[in-house]
Amino acid sequence: MSTFDMHAWSQAHLRSIEQALQGWVPPQAPAQLGEAMRYAVLDGGKRLRPLLVLASMEACSPQPTAWTLDAAMRAACAIELIHAYSLVHDDMPCMDNDVLRRGKPTVHVQFGEAQALLAGDALQTLAFELLTPEHSNIPAAVQARLCGLLARAAGHAGMAGGQAIDLASVGQRLSADALRQMHRCKTGALLEVSVVMGAVAAQAPDATVQHVLHYGQALGVAFQVVDDILDVTADAAALGKTVGKDAANDKPTYVSLLGLDGARAEASRLADQAQQALGQSGLKNTAALEAVADWVLQRQN
Amino acid sequence: MSTFDMHAWSQAHLRSIEQALQGWVPPQAPAQLGEAMRYAVLDGGKRLRPLLVLASMEACSPQPTAWTLDAAMRAACAIELIHAYSLVHDDMPCMDNDVLRRGKPTVHVQFGEAQALLAGDALQTLAFELLTPEHSNIPAAVQARLCGLLARAAGHAGMAGGQAIDLASVGQRLSADALRQMHRCKTGALLEVSVVMGAVAAQAPDATVQHVLHYGQALGVAFQVVDDILDVTADAAALGKTVGKDAANDKPTYVSLLGLDGARAEASRLADQAQQALGQSGLKNTAALEAVADWVLQRQN
């Protein structure tokens, strides 16, 4: 086991991600749209998805070319924009009606509902702009594949579909399978596609992409289980958002289904599964991916 | 002047567009999301943007290959999905709060606000899925370019930006230039990109794409001028939506700025400009594009 300094790794990569987002989320968009977009994206968030993209790219391509680095950073930021847009729309009064996010007023509280709706829409579109730069050495085949992967993960069969199931599930008692299916779409699809897009930016062979996908699938479910645990155990200050809101909204969660101890055991089992997938991949440079899985299990917010 | 039967041309193409949309807008999306998406897109709408894509493709490639036909139909439907999503979100209570669209209850009236928000989001994503088919002969370079063009036309510097200007302009007196700038983004960008994407699907040379773009720019503004005229002259039954709503919302329009006669003269001038751009393109097979420009000027709804 080599010594891997996750703190140094993530600090360096977080700086690059913030810098890239600062440059790409447009300040010049008209009539406060740019301000609302930047407010939604910059200066906040764990950047888990971007870090996953970069960790996966590095695992698959220890000596990346300049265009691979560019493609991976664009993929990292594009996924973060999709994540950010989904939070903006999710927080709106007609959805979760949340007023606090990352310790700040939500976008619709700060800029009004109409601007929040537009900013979310424009953040989604911007993700596909980032993946298709006008002058670039990123091969067109990689650009097209990244667009296709992101669209499938974000759309009706992925994140948006999961949100629709979530909407319909309020007040319902779901089976473990149905709950897992909802989260596989709602949260899992975007986490999975993060590692897959990193591997595609690195032009990894299909077999490697499959192993990385299995890691992402286990990690995605683990992330949601931990989210449900934190919703009942964390305090608002640490979490930076309203706590206990799932129970208040009568939403099914892993905790309501499995109990707190059962949910903790499930998270631990899934983290092991993620580590196993990495072991089977044959990839050598997986320390960052392993560390992210540990962090997901142990995070406090 | 050859005899061109616009009615037969548009009927045949409208059938193909409806069939393609029927196949591509997913009935199987979970928890009513699919129903809401299909309600928003199918069985309604003039399909002006898809017809422009196909007319432009045919002008640039009189003998299209199978993949050009496929790329053009995907581009046509992708743009229509972007248009449809913008209408769904635009009609919501926090934006225009409209209850009637194409003679039917709007999506949020029919399915609730949360589902309308999600359906709009998922329609936007689906546009990028359509442009990046998993097994296809469409060259990756064409797929990537179509994604990039659509994202730039739909996003903060295009349609979404125009809507932000529109939001901020309520109760303001705009200059002709500012009004034109707003509509160039809000409506024009998507009409312009329709003809450009048709030309790109046909792999037209850059100079040709430029001429077609000029046609699209003039047509885009003409379309909006006619829209403003119809908002004050048409009746609700012909228009299929609420009339006089711009005046009621105190929004600046070409009619409020130029008067009714002035607006009619402006529409006519722009239609001439569109025809001139076609003349300068050197393209031969432009009858459908010419007919669309005539129709835009003469439409009653």
User: What DSSP line would sit under B78-141, residue for residue?
Assistant: HHHHHHHHHHHHHTSTTTT---EETTEE-HHHHH-HHHHHHHHHHHHHHHHHHTS-SS--S-HH
On the question of pLDDT at B237 being above 60, the answer is no
Compare all CA atoms of chain A with the CA of B93 and give the residue at the minimum distance: A114
Reported confidence tier of residue A179, pLDDT bands at 50, 70, 90: confident
pLDDT, mean of residues B49-64: 96
Q: Do B33 and A164 touch (CB under 8 A)?
A: yes
Reported confidence tier of residue A173, pLDDT bands at 50, 70, 90: confident
Which bin fits B16, alpha (ψ -120 to 50), beta or left (φ > 0)? alpha
What percentage of chain B carries pLDDT values higher than 90? 74
Higher pLDDT, A281 or A43: A281
What are the residues whose beta carbons fall under 8 Å from the beta carbon of A280, sequence distance 6 or more?
Answer: A211, A214
Instruction: Please answer whether residues B193 and B215 qualify as being in contact, where contact means their C-beta atoms are separated by less than 8 angstroms.
Output: no
- B37 contact residues in A (CB cutoff 8 A): 156
pLDDT, mean of residues B37-48: 91
Residue to mutate among A121, A143, A184, with most B CBs inside 10 A, is A121
Question: In whole angstroms, what separates CA A114 from the centre of its chain?
Answer: 25
DSSP state, B30?
T
The tens digit of pLDDT for each residue in A71-83 reads 999 999 999 999 9
Is the CB of residue B165 less than 8 Å away from at least one CB of chain A? yes
Is the CB of residue A129 less than 8 Å away from at least one CB of chain B? yes
Q: Closest CB to A31: pick one of B113, B132, B165.
A: B165
Q: Do B125 and A155 touch (CB under 8 A)?
A: yes
On the question of pLDDT at A300 being above 80, the answer is no
Q: Do B124 and A125 touch (CB under 8 A)?
A: yes
The tens digit of pLDDT for each residue in A31-59 reads 799 999 999 999 778 899 999 999 999 99
Q: Chain A, 233-262: which have a CB under 8 Å from a chain B CB?
A: none
Instruction: Please answer whether residues B298 and B228 qualify as being in contact, where contact means their C-beta atoms are separated by less than 8 angstroms.
Output: no
Q: Do A85 and B134 touch (CB under 8 A)?
A: no
What are the residues whose beta carbons fall under 8 Å from the beta carbon of B139, sequence distance 6 or more?
Answer: A140, B67
The tens digit of pLDDT for each residue in A197-206 reads 999 999 999 9
Exposure string over B85-115, b if 16+ CB within 10 A, otherwise e: bbbbbbbbbbbbebeebeeeebbbbbbebbb
What are the residues whose beta carbons fall under 8 Å from the beta carbon of A269, sequence distance 6 or more?
Answer: none
pLDDT, mean of residues B241-255: 67
Reported confidence tier of residue A245, pLDDT bands at 50, 70, 90: low
CA distance B201 to chain A (A): 15
The token pair that represents B165 in the structure block: 């200007």
pLDDT, mean of residues B114-136: 97
What is the DSSP code string of B145-159? HHHHHHHHHHSTTTH
pLDDT of B241 reads 59
- Which stretches does DSSP call E strand in B166-268? none
Reported confidence tier of residue B13, pLDDT bands at 50, 70, 90: very high
On the question of pLDDT at A233 being above 60, the answer is yes
Instruction: Please answer whether residues A221 and A234 qualify as being in contact, where contact means their C-beta atoms are separated by less than 8 angstroms.
Output: no
pLDDT of B298 reads 86
Compare all CA atoms of chain A with the CA of B165 and give the residue at the minimum distance: A31
On the question of pLDDT at A248 being above 70, the answer is no
Q: Do B144 and A157 touch (CB under 8 A)?
A: no
How far apart (Å, rounded) are the C-alpha atoms in residues A148 and B62?
A: 29
Residue to mutate among B25, B81, B96, B125, with most A CBs inside 10 A, is B125
How far apart (Å, rounded) are the C-alpha atoms in residues B176 and B221?
A: 12
Reported confidence tier of residue A238, pLDDT bands at 50, 70, 90: low
Domains by residue range for chain B, with CATH:
10-298 (1.10.600.10)
Is the CB of residue B168 less than 8 Å away from at least one CB of chain A? yes
What are the residues whose beta carbons fall under 8 Å from the beta carbon of B254, sequence distance 6 or more?
Answer: B179, B224, B225, B228, B229, B262, B263, B266
- B83 contact residues in A (CB cutoff 8 A): none
Q: Write out the H or E segment, with its range, that includes residue A105.
A: strand A104-105
